[in-house]
């Protein structure tokens, strides 16, 4: 008998061909991302397994999933690595496992960071627009070589960015993280000097104020939690060097969008490139703070991890976690809860 698995339409659409290879044992049930629609699909199908994307869920789907699981656990398999949209307390309350797909999207996100940075540095969106409007009108850009790139959050993605920026473009990389340099190095069984050399890091900081004074360009890769939500508020944005550039491919909740609008519109910041937002699809915090109206910002619709390669890797890990769950090999799953 096939195992029913509810999966949001967007995630199924990215990997329908891949998922169909497992149709002999899994009944895939695509549904709309809205929580009411997800809950109805769970209830109608009897599914105890659910595959979700980045959307936020905080209510009815948890007891519905648990009800189908009976005395056993349920499973939410995230198609991605972030899990700030999942209510961990409700997972624990209703005996629901949560898995993620670590390592599957690091390179894709890091490459998108560099794409946004190059687009900003060389004015590519503006120049492309001019050419499409029959205006052969240059606009001078700047090189990345020897510029100081600050990476806030030095996890797997931050490390990939550091490698590309330092070894590919000759940038000077400064890293900021809550973990000390010694702790980071110990995790990889390296000396501190070897760790810095391995990733092309010029300076490493655990103090934000010392870090932010050094950088020309900031890319954000912090996790979202109570201490980092809206971490980049007006106070911290105000500490950035004049004419700095901010890039966010991490999580929308890390940046106060009103404060960012103010910093960009006043030219306190030179430019920004944003792939993630507080509300997705993007909605401005209010009409007068609409980031889309600014000429010095590049916006992409949460696509940093959306490559064929990353999607296939995530799909494979989702299916692996489902099979491990069905085989009761819970300790081998890439579990958060």
Domain boundaries, the chain: 3-104+308-332, 106-299
Residue 279: active-site member: no
Tokens of 270: 């030179």
**Does domain 3-104+308-332 match CATH 1.10.510.10?**
no
CB burial of 260-286 (b: ≥16 within 10 Å; e: otherwise) equals: bbbbbbeebbbbbbbbbbbeeebebbe
Per annotation, catalytic residue among 48, 78, 251, 257: 251
Annotated catalytic residue 280: yes
Q: Running DSSP on this structure, what letter comes out for residue 335? A: B
- Please check whether the two domains, 3-104+308-332 and 106-299, share a CATH topology: yes
Predicted confidence at residue 91, as pLDDT, reads: 98
**3-class state of residue 34 by DSSP:** coil
Give the three-state DSSP class for 249.
Answer: coil
259 in Cβ contact with 237 (< 8 Å): yes
Percent of the chain residues past pLDDT 90, beyond the cut: 100
- pLDDT tens, residue by residue, 293-333: 999 999 999 999 999 999 999 999 999 999 999 999 999 99
Residue-wise pLDDT tens digits, 19-29: 999 999 999 99
Among residues 94, 107, 112, 302, which one is catalytic? 302
85-131 pLDDT per residue, tens: 999 999 999 999 999 999 999 999 999 999 999 999 999 999 999 99
CATH class for the domain made up of 106-299 = alpha beta
pLDDT-derived band at 1 (thresholds 50, 70, 90) equals confident
CA angle, 304 then 306 then 132, to 5°? 75
For 45-74, what is the mean pLDDT?
Answer: 97
Split at pLDDT 50, 70, 90, the class of 198 is very high
> From the candidates 280, 312, 323, 335, which is the catalytic residue?
280
Does residue 135 carry a catalytic annotation? no
Q: List the Cα angle 96/227/89 in 5-degree steps.
A: 15
Number of Cβ within a 10 Å radius of residue 309:
11
Using the predicted structure, report yes or no on whether residue 247 has a pLDDT greater than 90: yes
For the segment 144-162, what is each residue's pLDDT rounded down to a tens digit?
Answer: 999 999 999 999 999 999 9
Supply the pLDDT for residue 41: 99
pLDDT recorded at residue 18: 96
């Amino acid at each position: 008998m096939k195992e029913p698995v509810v999966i949001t339409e967007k995630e199924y659409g990215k990997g329908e061909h891949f998922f169909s290879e497992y149709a002999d044992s899994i009944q895939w049930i695509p549904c709309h991302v809205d929580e009411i629609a997800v809950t109805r699909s769970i209830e109608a199908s009897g599914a105890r397994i659910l595959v979700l994307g980045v959307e936020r869920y905080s209510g009815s789907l948890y007891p519905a999933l648990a009800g189908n699981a009976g005395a056993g656990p349920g499973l939410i398999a995230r198609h991605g690595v972030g899990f700030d949209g999942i209510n961990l307390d409700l997972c624990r309350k209703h005996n629901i496992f949560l898995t993620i797909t670590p390592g599957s999207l690091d390179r894709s996100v890091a490459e998108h960071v560099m794409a946004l940075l190059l687009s900003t540095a060389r004015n590519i969106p503006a120049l492309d627009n001019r050419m499409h409007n029959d205006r052969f009108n240059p606009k001078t850009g700047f090189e990345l070589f020897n510029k100081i790139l600050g990476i806030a959050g030095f996890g797997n993605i931050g490390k990939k960015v550091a490698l590309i920026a330092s070894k590919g473009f000759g940038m000077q990389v400064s890293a900021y993280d809550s973990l000390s340099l010694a702790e980071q190095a110990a995790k990889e069984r390296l000396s501190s000097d070897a760790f810095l050399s391995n990733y092309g890091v010029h300076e490493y900081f655990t103090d934000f104020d010392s870090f932010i004074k050094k950088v020309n360009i900031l890319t954000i890769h912090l996790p979202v939690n109570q201490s980092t939500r809206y971490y980049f508020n007006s106070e911290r944005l105000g500490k950035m060097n004049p004419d700095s550039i901010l890039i966010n491919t991490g999580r929308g909740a890390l940046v106060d969008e009103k404060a960012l609008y103010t910093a960009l519109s006043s030219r306190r910041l030179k430019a920004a490139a944003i792939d993630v937002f507080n509300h997705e699809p993007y909605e401005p915090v209010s009409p007068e703070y609409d980031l889309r109206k600014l000429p010095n910002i590049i916006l992409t619709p949460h696509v940093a991890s959306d490559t064929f390669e990353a999607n296939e890797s995530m799909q494979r890990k989702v299916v692996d976690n489902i099979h491990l769950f069905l085989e009761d090999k819970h300790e081998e799953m890439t579990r958060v809860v």
